[in-house]
C-alpha cells in the first residue's frame, strides 16, 4: 500500500508554511509565503493554489492526498477551525480557515494550536519518536506546551489543555503575564517577557553591558543580547539567567511530578543557546521532582528545530485524520 500523504499548513506571524509530507516524514514539497501584515482575503486563495502546485510538482493529484492539518497560533477557536485573533496578524479576525480549505481543496482537514502540533511533529518525526509520554515546550517568545501521555495528546474539555506556559508558579507579587494572570511560567521564561522585563529595568542605564550587547538600544534587548552579556560575565545577566533556570526547573519539575514523562523536549531557545541553557535546569531539577520520576527522565532538545513548522500541520493531519499512533513497533 502506498504511503499516505498529507498537507500541512503552519500559520506564523511573519511566514506561512505549506508542506506536502508522507506519513513516514518524507517532505515531497514545501513552500513559504510572507504573512506579515497580510489580509486573509489575499492569502487564503494562495494557500489553495500553492497546495495544488506542490501536489502537481510531486506528480500527484489531490486524490492522492488524504487530508490537511493546520498548525495555528492563538487566539483560536480550535473546535471550529477559526483563527479568532492571531497575535501577530492584526488583520486576521475570525477567519474560518479550516472550512475555507476544506471547501476549496476538497479534502478533510483539522486544526490544532501550534504547540500541540509541535508535540505531534516531534512525536512522529523528532525527539518524541517511539515515546508515549513526553512534553514538548516551544521555549520561544512565549512558552507553549504540548503534552502527550500514554500516546494521547492532552486536549481537555474545551481544547485548551496543555497550556503549561500559564501555570502560575509565583503566587505573590508574580510578574504580569501577557495572558492576564500574574506569576505565569511564561512571564519568567518566555523570551518576550524576559526582554520586556530587562528593557524596563535598564531604561535609564544606556551604558549597561546588556544594552551594549543589544547594539546600544534598550528597546532592542532580546534573548540574544542577554545570552551575550551572560557569556561575557555580566552580573545582572547572571542573575536573570539564574532566575530563568530556577523557574524553568520549577515549572518542569511540576510537570514531571504530575505526568511522569520520559522526555521533555525543548524548542528554540534551548537548541539555539545550547548547553548553557539546559545544564543549569538539569542541575536544579532534583529540587523540584522526585528522584523516582527523574530516574527515567531526559531533558532533550527538539530534533526538528527550524523544520518543525514544515511538519507541524502534517503531524496534526496524521494524528487527527489518519489516527496514526506514535508507537514504533
75 and 86 Cβ atoms separated by less than 8 Å = yes
**CA dist list (Å): 132 to 9, 122, 128, 261:** 25, 11, 8, 8
- Regarding 181 and contact with Zn ion (CB under 5 A), the answer is yes
Nearest approach in angstroms of CB 59 to Zn ion is 47
Nearest approach in angstroms of CB 259 to Zn ion is 20
Cα–Cα distance measured from residue 304 to residue 315, given in angstroms and rounded to the nearest whole number:
12
Binding-site member from 184, 195, 214, 255 for Zn ion (CB under 5 A): 184
Tell me whether residue 233 is exposed, middle or buried, using C-beta atoms within 10 angstroms of its C-beta: 0 to 12, 13 to 18, 19 or more. Answer: exposed
Task: Bin 89: left if φ > 0, else alpha if -120 < ψ < 50, else beta.
Answer: beta
| Interface stretch with Zn ion, choices 175-183, 190-198, 271-279, 301-309 (CB under 5 A) | 175-183
Task: Bin 216: left if φ > 0, else alpha if -120 < ψ < 50, else beta.
Answer: left
| Interface stretch with Zn ion, choices 6-14, 133-141, 179-187, 266-274 (CB under 5 A) | 179-187
Query: Which CB sits closer to Zn ion, 174 or 280?
Result: 174
Query: Which CB sits closer to Zn ion, 23 or 181?
Result: 181
- Regarding 179 and contact with Zn ion (CB under 5 A), the answer is yes
Angle at 83 between CA 154 and CA 322, to 5 degrees: 45
Pairing between strand 109-113 and 65-72?
A: parallel
| Interface stretch with Zn ion, choices 23-31, 62-70, 103-111, 174-182 (CB under 5 A) | 174-182
Nearest approach in angstroms of CB 166 to Zn ion is 4
Nearest approach in angstroms of CB 141 to Zn ion is 13
Query: Which CB sits closer to Zn ion, 166 or 324?
Result: 166
Nearest approach in angstroms of CB 190 to Zn ion is 9
286 and 294 Cβ atoms separated by less than 8 Å = yes
Binding-site member from 6, 83, 177, 246 for Zn ion (CB under 5 A): 177
- Return residues touching Zn ion (CB under 5 A): 166, 177, 179, 181, 184
Amino acid at each position: 500500500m502506498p504511503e499516505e500523504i498529507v498537507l500541512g499548513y503552519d500559520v506564523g506571524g511573519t511566514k506561512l508554511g505549506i508542506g506536502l509530507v508522507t506519513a513516514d516524514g518524507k517532505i515531497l514539497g514545501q513552500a513559504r509565503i510572507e504573512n506579515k501584515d497580510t489580509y486573509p482575503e489575499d492569502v487564503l486563495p494562495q494557500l489553495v493554489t500553492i497546495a495544488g502546485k506542490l501536489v502537481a510538482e510531486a506528480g500527484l493529484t489531490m486524490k492522492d492526498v488524504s487530508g490537511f492539518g493546520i498548525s495555528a497560533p492563538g487566539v483560536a477557536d480550535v473546535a471550529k477551525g477559526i483563527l479568532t485573533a492571531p497575535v501577530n496578524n492584526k488583520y486576521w479576525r475570525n477567519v474560518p480557515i479550516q472550512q475555507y480549505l476544506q471547501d476549496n481543496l476538497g479534502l478533510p482537514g483539522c486544526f490544532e494550536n501550534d504547540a500541540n502540533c509541535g508535540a505531534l511533529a516531534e512525536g512522529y518525526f523528532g525527539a518524541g519518536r517511539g515515546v508515549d509520554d513526553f512534553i514538548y515546550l516551544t521555549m520561544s517568545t512565549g512558552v507553549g506546551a504540548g503534552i502527550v501521555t500514554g500516546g494521547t495528546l492532552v486536549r481537555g474539555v474545551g481544547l485548551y489543555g496543555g497550556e503549561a506556559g500559564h501555570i502560575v508558579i509565583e503566587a505573590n507579587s508574580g510578574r504580569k503575564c501577557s495572558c492576564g494572570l500574574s506569576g505565569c511560567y511564561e512571564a519568567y521564561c518566555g523570551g518576550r517577557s524576559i526582554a520586556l522585563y530587562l528593557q524596563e529595568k535598564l531604561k535609564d542605564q544606556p551604558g549597561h553591558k546588556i544594552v551594549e550587547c543589544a547594539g546600544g538600544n534598550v528597546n532592542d534587548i532580546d534573548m540574544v543580547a542577554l545570552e551575550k552579556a551572560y557569556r561575557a560575565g555580566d552580573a545582572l545577566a547572571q542573575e536573570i539567567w539564574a532566575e530563568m533556570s530556577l523557574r524553568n526547573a520549577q515549572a518542569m519539575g511540576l510537570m514531571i511530578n504530575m505526568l511522569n514523562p520520559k522526555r521533555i523536549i525543548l524548542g528554540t531557545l534551548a537548541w539555539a543557546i545550547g548547553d548553557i541553557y539546559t545544564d543549569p535546569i538539569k542541575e536544579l531539577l532534583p529540587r523540584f521532582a522526585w528522584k523516582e520520576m527523574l530516574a527515567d527522565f531526559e531533558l532533550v532538545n527538539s530534533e526538528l528545530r527550524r523544520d518543525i513548522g514544515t511538519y507541524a500541520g502534517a503531524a496534526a493531519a496524521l494524528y487527527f485524520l489518519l489516527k496514526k499512533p506514535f508507537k514504533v513497533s
